[in-house]
């Protein structure tokens, strides 16, 4: 399978925000992301979230492995941290997608950010952008699916998923910031 990314083509993008009752100084998105228990990940978008774990790349970069359903596709995401800070993480994955028509790959960029609303509240934003790979474009052609249709379907499914997981991710981050044992 080709992992050549077509960053000139947009498959989907969505961003949702949720305000939490925690000061920005207490928020640590990177700590949350790389210590997120599997069961907590599953609670953040039932029944779509299947499994999550953290690991490292061969060259020592942090990774988050997520398995979830997006629409009709089972997606295995291999997110590598390009930026992993307290208030901003940029995670990039060449993700495996298992569909009713077979397996393919897409690039997914996951941006998690926080900004102060005031001294006691923080706005969390969850942004997800995906681009096709050359393999994905060949997959579409083989299955007689137009890129425009695939992009509409993926954008709708990803947007729906993101709208449901964002407030649950935000509240999970807030629980960790408050020092609650079970995030």
Neighbours of 55 (CB within 10 A): 10
Total structural domains within the chain: 1
For residue 148, what are the domain limits?
A: 12-177
Summarised one tens digit per residue, pLDDT across range 75-107 is 999 999 999 999 999 999 999 999 999 999 999
Instruction: Classify residue 6: in a domain, yes or no.
Output: no
Q: How far apart are CA 145 and CA 151, in angstroms?
A: 10
Confidence of residue 43 (pLDDT cuts 50, 70, 90): very high
Instruction: Classify residue 1: in a domain, yes or no.
Output: no
Report the percentage of the chain scoring pLDDT > 70: 97
- Of 73, 85, 157, nearest to 114 by C-alpha is 85
In contact, 83 and 23? CB cutoff 8 Å: no
Neighbours of 75 (CB within 10 A): 23
- Of 33, 113, 99, nearest to 66 by C-alpha is 33
Query: The domain that contains 152 carries what CATH number?
Result: 3.30.530.20
Instruction: Classify residue 25: in a domain, yes or no.
Output: yes
Q: How far apart are CA 92 and CA 51, in angstroms?
A: 18
Instruction: Classify residue 2: in a domain, yes or no.
Output: no
- Of 25, 16, 17, 23, nearest to 121 by C-alpha is 23
Instruction: Classify residue 161: in a domain, yes or no.
Output: yes
pTM value is 0.95
Instruction: Classify residue 7: in a domain, yes or no.
Output: no
Instruction: Classify residue 5: in a domain, yes or no.
Output: no
């Amino acid at each position: 399978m080709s992992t050549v990314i077509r960053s000139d083509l947009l498959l989907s993008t969505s961003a949702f925000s949720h305000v939490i009752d925690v000061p920005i100084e207490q928020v640590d998105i990177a700590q949350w992301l790389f210590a997120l228990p599997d069961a907590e990940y599953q609670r953040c978008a039932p029944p779509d979230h299947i499994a999550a774990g953290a690991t490292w790349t061969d060259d020592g970069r942090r990774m988050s492995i997520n398995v979830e359903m997006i629409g009709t596709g089972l997606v295995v995401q291999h997110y590598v941290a390009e930026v992993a800070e307290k208030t901003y993480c940029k995670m990039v994955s060449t993700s495996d997608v298992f569909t009713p028509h077979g397996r393919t790959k897409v690039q997914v960029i996951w941006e998690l950010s926080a900004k102060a609303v005031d001294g006691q509240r923080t706005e969390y934003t969850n942004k997800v952008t995906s681009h096709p790979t050359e393999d994905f474009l060949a997959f579409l052609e083989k299955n007689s699916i137009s890129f425009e249709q695939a992009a509409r379907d993926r954008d709708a499914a990803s947007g729906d998923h993101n709208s449901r997981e964002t407030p649950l991710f935000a509240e999970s981050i807030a629980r960790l910031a408050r020092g609650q044992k079970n995030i």
